[in-house]
Amino acid sequence: MKTIFHEDFFQVYTTDPAAAPGRMEAIVAAVDDVAEFVTARPADEKALAAIHTREHVARVQRSGPYALAVLAAGAAIQAADIALTEPAFALIRPPGHHASSDSAWGFCYFNNMAIAVDALKRRGAIQTAYILDIDLHFGDGTVNILSEKNYVSVYNVQAHDRQAYLDEIAREMDGCAADIIGISAGFDNHRDDWGGLLLTEDYTEIGCMVRNAARRCFGVLEGGYNHSVLGANVRALLQGLSAD
């Protein structure tokens, strides 16, 4: 599967868990045999301005890892664009689903997913989109930005039981008729991560369900902090998304 990545994402840019040393290395090593790496390119100013206020962009320029955050947003756009013809994954950091138009928290700076689907919509490549957020934490930024846009639905999985969690996704995918599905792919719900809920093979099942619901689909990395299982979990999702 085409996996958008850049060696700059290895950078330890701050002290939060999303920026921890070894996190991206663990994923790259685990997906090397199933990923076709594509070099990430930074998002342009127009893509940022379509989602975030000028003041927010300026704040990130002054006090955040601006170049890396712009590169992550650009990689998400690339993944969404590739997904028009085949599944893709943006292997990026910083994450983005806690970034609203004029604020951000939770290790996020720019909302990579919102920027990506908006870029497709603005150029007429899609009419509708669906965002499935499987991160442990509610993606408030994505909801804040996209909830008022009538072309996109955003769904955060809420179940606290493993089977109920998978059943909840199955129900959503059964009723999904969007042109494209984007997964805000957090892996911190794994049983050996903060959430303690899902098994590695569950990510393959999730990927398959999404793939069956929409041939146009892509994922964007959000959370996931136990390096010993994170790579295997990302690999499992990629295998599900690429399954026929």
pLDDT in tens, 73-91: 999 999 999 999 999 999 9
Return the exposure string of 30-65: e unless at least 16 CB atoms fall within 10 Å of the residue's CB, then b. Answer: bbeeebeebebebbeeebbeebbeeebbebbeeebb
pLDDT tens-digit readout, 158-182: 999 999 999 999 999 999 999 999 9
Fold of the domain spanning 2-241: Arginase; Chain A (3.40.800)
pLDDT of residue 148: 86
pLDDT tens-digit readout, 25-76: 999 999 999 999 999 999 999 999 999 999 999 999 999 999 999 999 999 9
Contact 185, 207 (CB under 8 A): no
Mean pLDDT of 120-144: 98
pTM of the model: 0.97
